[in-house]
Amino acid sequence: MNTSDSLHTISLQKPDMSVTIAGVTFKNPVLTASGTFGSGLEYSEFIDLSRLGGLVTKGVSNVPWPGNPTPRVAEVSAGMLNAIGLQNPGMEVFIERDLAFLKDVDTKVIVNVCGKSVEDYLDVVRWLQNEAVDMLEINVSCPNVKEGAIAFGQNPDALYDITSRIKKEAAQPVIMKLTPNVTDITQMARAAEAGGADAISLINTITGAKIDIERRQFVLANKTGGLSGPAIKPVAVRMVWQAAQAVSIPVIGMGGIATAEDAIEFMMAGASAVAVGAMNFHDPYTTVRVAEGMEQWCASHGVDRVASLTGIV
Amino acid sequence: MKKKTTMTVLDSRMLAQDIWSLELAYAPEDIPQEVLPGQFAGLYPAGGDLLLMRPISICRWDSRRGALRFVYRAGGKGTRSFTGLKAGDTIDMLGILGNGYDLAKLRGKHVVLLGGGIGVPPMLELAAALQESADAGTTVTAVMGYRNNELFLKEEMEAFAQVLVATEDGSAGTKGNVLDAVRENEIRADVLCACGPLPMLRAVKRHAQENNIPAFLSLEERMACGVGVCLGCVAKTTKADEHSKVHNARVCVEGPVFPAEDVDLD
């Protein structure tokens, strides 16, 4: 038995905020949610990126994707809808520009990968084999593109298949990012685990819509979009808890996290780490505030290891 | 350097139906850089359930008085919440955002500013900046389009430019839009700078092409982050954009001001 654990000292010692997922150790449990942080360059004007546990990039595909027509975003109560459509400059530019920038940033780097076909995903995964990337997050959950993405995340057989094929090619540990737009999240979590996923992350956005009643039309050009922000937090906490019960691989929890208390709630539900998404847009300092707040919460509640909170409910 | 800062309200008042002026006090540490005309800031509705900033163009930047002024349309829930602000209240601001007008491309020329509706306010700062930095050759004509005879900011504009007015209902100036006023008064521009609704910007682009003069257009799009991260506010571009590698540029970073020939408005 570890003596510091057994003494239960509400000590002056700083709590251990590190968490380990699939052999990768993060200095704290706070990551950025894909698509809400670019590759960090823009927000590096606001925060010190080395304060992040990890940085999850915007989704990248093998070739440039133009995304959807505008309007792409709409605000709703305590949240927002987006239908960006995974616009990205493609792998080649991503490696030259974004990964080159991230090389000098002292945080763990997780690259979010998207594609229209399994072959597209594999293409990106192979590109990244020799790059300075700590983990891959596979986007099988974007609700805003017509091909690929969510189609792989709503069918357990397809999810198992793509996971196992990616695992054969990937040089880094693989996180499968799951969609909440399914009947039974545990079925998807199990399929990812069976396919060999090293971890799962959830939730991606919940499909929604908003209508401008004066114009009698949808606000988003795509008609539907993904709902994010504090509005979805209770759904996310429920699904993280269900998924964590169903699998033994680590779960990364996200969905409307705005405060340290929210993040701790996700950890208690079963998350080993958390990600801040839409709230970055409200306040670019959210990630750092959440990380600092979690540390203070642990210190004031006599928790000497943040990882000990995972799944305690 | 961009920041999210809590600002103090100096003045808030209604100028016309649904058109409000909001002046904020700022210290140099709040806004370390020079503010360019055409730039904007994100203003956050307080408390409540609205999370995203409202992108509002800068109407006046007065570094001597330490005042930053916005004139906005109180149209939706968020902007309407700003109308309740009083002197001494605080408001969170993200800024300063966007590229602004490149004054070097305007100096020494006859610059015609075209502002339609809530596109009028940024033209005031542009006229002021051109006048302040004017060498002998720069002349400024401002053509301002309104719905009716509530001609907000017209008097203030007269301090910096020769002013012409167009109104939709014909109650003041030329009946019609800003380009009707340009034609009626036979205004010959060396360069056009325009901000207003999309149909107006399309017409300005056509006018510039027909007359073979450069035009700079200030675009508006729904935004979330305001700093180039979310890719919500893109404008279609005629050539592949340097950052995105596709035919989309971020209005909040590469814009909101674009050379007319660079954007596809159809």
B229: nearest Cα among A109, A236, A100, A82: A82
- Whether the pLDDT of residue A72 is over 70: the answer is yes
The 10s digit of each residue's pLDDT in B135-194 is 778 999 999 999 999 999 999 999 999 999 999 999 999 999 999 999 999 999 999 999
The 10s digit of each residue's pLDDT in B79-88 is 999 999 999 9
Cβ contacts of B232 on chain A, cutoff 8 Å: 70, 72-73, 82, 84
Q: If pLDDT is split at 50, 70 and 90, which confidence band does A12 have?
A: low
Residue with token string 């005042």: B67
Distance CA B11, CA B243 (A): 39
| Number of domains composing chain A | 1
Q: For residue A121, what are the domain limits?
A: 30-250
Confidence (pLDDT) at A6: 46
The 10s digit of each residue's pLDDT in B22-64 is 999 988 777 667 899 999 999 999 977 999 999 999 999 988 8
The 10s digit of each residue's pLDDT in B194-224 is 999 999 999 999 999 999 999 999 999 999 9
pTM of the model: 0.94
Chain centroid, CA A88 distance in Å: 17
Residue tagged active-site, from A31, A91, A142, A290: A142
Neighbours of B266 (CB within 10 A): 7
Q: How far does A146 lie from chain B, in Å, by closest CA?
A: 18
Candidates 3.40.50.80, 1.10.357.10, 3.40.50.170, 3.50.50.60; CATH matching B103-218? 3.40.50.80
What average pLDDT does range A252-273 have in this prediction? 98
Cβ contacts of A80 on chain B, cutoff 8 Å: 51-52, 224
Yes or no: say if A79 and A203 are a contact pair by the CB < 8 Å rule.
no
Q: Which of A43, A90, A230 sits opposite B229 (nearest CB)?
A: A43
Give the DSSP H/E element, type plus range, for residue A112.
strand A108-113
CATH code at A88? 3.20.20.70
- A230/B51 touch (CB, cutoff 8 Å), yes or no: yes
A204 in a domain, yes or no? yes
Q: Which of B51, B233, B246 sits opposite A80 (nearest CB)?
A: B51
Confidence (pLDDT) at B1: 67
Structure tokens at A292: 């600092």
The overall average pLDDT reported for chain A is: 95
A142 catalytic per annotation: yes
Which part of chain B has CATH 3.40.50.80? 103-218
Shortest CA distance from A97: residue in chain B: B243
Residue with token string 């079925």: A187
Alpha-carbon dihedral B148, B151, B157, B163, rounded to 10 degrees: 40
Distance CA B149, CA B24 (A): 27
A294 in a domain, yes or no? no
Which part of chain B has CATH 2.40.30.10? 3-97
Percent pLDDT > 90 in chain A is 92
Architecture per CATH, B3-97: Beta Barrel (2.40)
